[in-house]
């Protein structure tokens, strides 16, 4: 599967990152973009390595070869490259060559980009290792699970996976608690070091939330879902995203700017930009109308004791909105109309 010789199933994509790093390194630094899901950072720390952050392209939120080159200081053992929002990273050949020349392990993060393509190749075909997710809200949503794929042997990583503690039911409660507290902190607009949540996030061990073995029976379920559902899911996502784009164009919404997915993308959600100073009010108004809007992904550096010097990632996280794709055309049109009406009203009041 996925164009690699070897594939194993894991409890979640984060567990895959942990297993890869633990097998290769006892210490060192791992370069990651500041615009990434926090679930990709915790396994770096739990594997005994230090995350080092870099900035991203301001229009896509994806890391670029130039940003990797700029940030790749001494001691970098690995680079994690996520295809954000299902939008493939441009310059993957250049990134792969950069890593190969310097002996840096390239981990391609396709958690939100299963089935995408770039430069005529499948995403996941560039890295030494590639991770996929079948977790919540991913291309194939099974609630849990992921894959590690590689042309390198995976027997030892598979053996390590079997030694991990199994996923337990109380982890679901911990995940709800973590997500709720993370949302409360983000909505407070308070730096983490000044927040009442700092002890919660900086002192607690969340290892069992991000690193666990695959539950019994899930591996077969995941493989069957890839074979039976992936093609239709990709088609649905691309079609729905096109409907959103068409509705936005027809609405003439001058205060909403569309996010541009590249050719070969498999959109995670439909994404748009609004002005940072009005975004919170837009979200609140849409939620009042039961519109399932979200605002992922913000810059994560403050969560990990790092000064926020990454202007592009911060700007991306302060202006992006996301909308679900599994809707009927009438529902999509309603979402877009409410979005446009809301932003117009707020901007008119500001005048």
Tell whether the model's pLDDT for residue 316 goes beyond 90.
Answer: yes
Question: Which pair of structure tokens corresponds to residue 174?
Answer: 């911990």
> What local confidence, expressed as pLDDT, does residue 121 receive?
92
Tell whether the model's pLDDT for residue 221 goes beyond 70.
Answer: yes
Tell whether the model's pLDDT for residue 259 goes beyond 80.
Answer: yes
Query: What are φ and ψ of residue 75, in 5° steps?
Result: 90, 0
pLDDT band for position 3 (50/70/90)?
Answer: confident
pLDDT in tens, 13-35: 999 999 999 999 999 999 999 99
Tell whether the model's pLDDT for residue 1 goes beyond 70.
Answer: no
Tell whether the model's pLDDT for residue 193 goes beyond 80.
Answer: yes
Residue range 6-220 forms a domain whose CATH class is alpha beta
Tell whether the model's pLDDT for residue 69 goes beyond 80.
Answer: yes
Domain 230-350, what architecture? Alpha-Beta Complex (3.90)
Annotate the chain with three-state secondary structure.
Answer: CCCCCEEEEECEHHHHHHHHHHHHCCCCEEEEECECCHHHCHHHHHCCCEEEEECCCCCCCCCCHHHHHHHCCCCEEEEEEECHHHCCCCCHHHHHHHHHHHCCEEEEECCCCCCCEECCEECCCCCCEEEEECCCCCCCCCCCEEEEEECCCCHHHHHHHHCCCECCHHHHHHHHHHHHHHHHHHHHCCCHHHCCCHHHHHHCCCHHHHCCECCCCHHHHHHHHHHHHHHHHHHHHHHHHHHHHHHHHHHCCCCCEECCCCCCCCCCCEEEECCHHHHHHHHHHHHHCCCCCECCCCECHHHHCCCCCCHHHHHHHHHEEEECCCCCHHHHHHHHHHHHHHHHHHHHHHC
pLDDT band for position 169 (50/70/90)?
Answer: confident
Which of 101, 18, 40 is CA-nearest to residue 65?
Answer: 101
> What local confidence, expressed as pLDDT, does residue 283 receive?
97
What is the rounded distance in angstroms from the CA atom of residue 124 to the CA atom of residue 126? 6
Query: ω into residue 187 within 30 of 0, thus cis?
Result: no
Domain boundaries, the chain: 6-220, 230-350
Tell whether the model's pLDDT for residue 351 goes beyond 70.
Answer: no
> What local confidence, expressed as pLDDT, does residue 98 receive?
97
> What local confidence, expressed as pLDDT, does residue 327 receive?
97
Q: Tell me what the mean pLDDT of segment 177-183 comes to.
A: 96
Tell whether the model's pLDDT for residue 240 goes beyond 90.
Answer: yes
pLDDT in tens, 111-147: 999 999 998 899 999 999 999 999 999 999 999 999 9
Quote the percentage of the chain above a pLDDT of 70.
99
- How high does pLDDT run on average in the chain? 96
Predicted model pTM: 0.97
> What local confidence, expressed as pLDDT, does residue 348 receive?
87
Q: Tell me what the mean pLDDT of segment 74-98 comes to.
A: 97
């Amino acid at each position: 599967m996925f164009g690699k010789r070897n594939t194993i199933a894991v409890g979640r994509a984060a567990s895959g990152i942990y297993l890869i790093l633990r097998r290769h390194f006892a210490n060192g630094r791992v370069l990651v973009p500041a615009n990434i899901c926090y679930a990709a950072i915790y396994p770096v720390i739990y594997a005994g390595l230090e995350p080092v952050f870099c900035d991203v392209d301001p229009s896509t939120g994806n890391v670029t070869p130039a940003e990797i080159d700029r940030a790749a200081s001494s001691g970098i053992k690995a680079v994690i490259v996520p295809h954000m929002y299902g939008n493939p990273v441009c310059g993957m050949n250049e990134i792969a060559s950069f890593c190969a020349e310097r002996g840096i392990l390239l981990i391609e993060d396709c958690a939100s980009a299963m089935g995408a393509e770039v430069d005529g190749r499948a995403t996941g075909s560039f890295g030494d290792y590639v991770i996929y997710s079948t977790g919540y809200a991913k291309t194939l949503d099974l609630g849990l699970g992921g894959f590690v794929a590689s042309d390198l042997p995976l027997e030892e990583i598979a053996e390590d996976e079997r030694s991990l503690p199994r996923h337990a039911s109380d982890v679901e409660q911990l995940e709800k608690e973590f997500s709720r507290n993370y949302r409360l902190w983000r909505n407070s607009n308070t730096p983490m070091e000044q927040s009442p949540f700092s002890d919660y996030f900086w002192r607690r061990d969340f290892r069992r939330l991000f690193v666990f073995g695959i539950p019994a029976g899930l591996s077969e379920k995941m493989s069957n879902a890839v074979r039976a559902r992936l093609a239709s899911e990709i088609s649905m996502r691309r079609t729905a995203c096109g409907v959103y784009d068409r509705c936005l164009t027809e609405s003439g919404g001058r205060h909403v700017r569309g996010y541009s997915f590249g050719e070969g993308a498999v959109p995670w959600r439909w994404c748009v930009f609004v002005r940072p100073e009005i975004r919170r009010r837009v979200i609140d108004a849409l939620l009042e109308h039961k519109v399932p809007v979200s605002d992922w992904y913000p810059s994560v550096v403050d969560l990990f004791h790092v000064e926020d010097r990454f202007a592009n990632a911060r700007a991306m996280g302060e202006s992006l909105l996301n909308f679900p794709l599994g809707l009927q055309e009438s529902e999509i049109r309603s979402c877009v109309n409410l979005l446009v009406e809301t932003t117009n009203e707020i901007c008119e009041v500001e005048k």
